[in-house]
Homo-oligomer: A and B are copies of this chain.
């Protein structure tokens, strides 16, 4: 899969996932890998910076949660502002897809 295509889609993906509920980093990676049947493996080097940026802009928050075995996980969850942003992103995404589609499949 061409990496370049993914470039702008990571925030959309993350927000969409978090819209279903809070998740932690490793879980996000695993979820994406499983849902795509392995064709898309989100890398840590892409995930964490994106997550931190989303947090810095207050679209998501994070909190640490201790598991029964004593280990910690950092959960990320969607904020209201993030929901609004997600909605806008979705719209943009649809526009984008339709646009490219119009060039790829000219005429109807």
Contacts and interface: CB of A to CB of B under 8 A. Distances in A.
B39 A95 contact: yes
Nearest to A90: B104
Most buried by B among A2, A3, A40, A89: A2
Interface size class of A (residues with CB under 8 A): 20 to 34
Given A1-B95, A5-B92, A13-B100, 6 more contacts: A4-B8, A12-B104, A16-B104, A16-B106, A39-B95, A93-B104
Interface of A: 1-9, 12-13, 16-17, 20, 32, 35-36, 39-40, 89-90, 92-93, 95-97, 99-100, 102-104, 106
Contacts of A40: 99
A5 B7 contact: yes
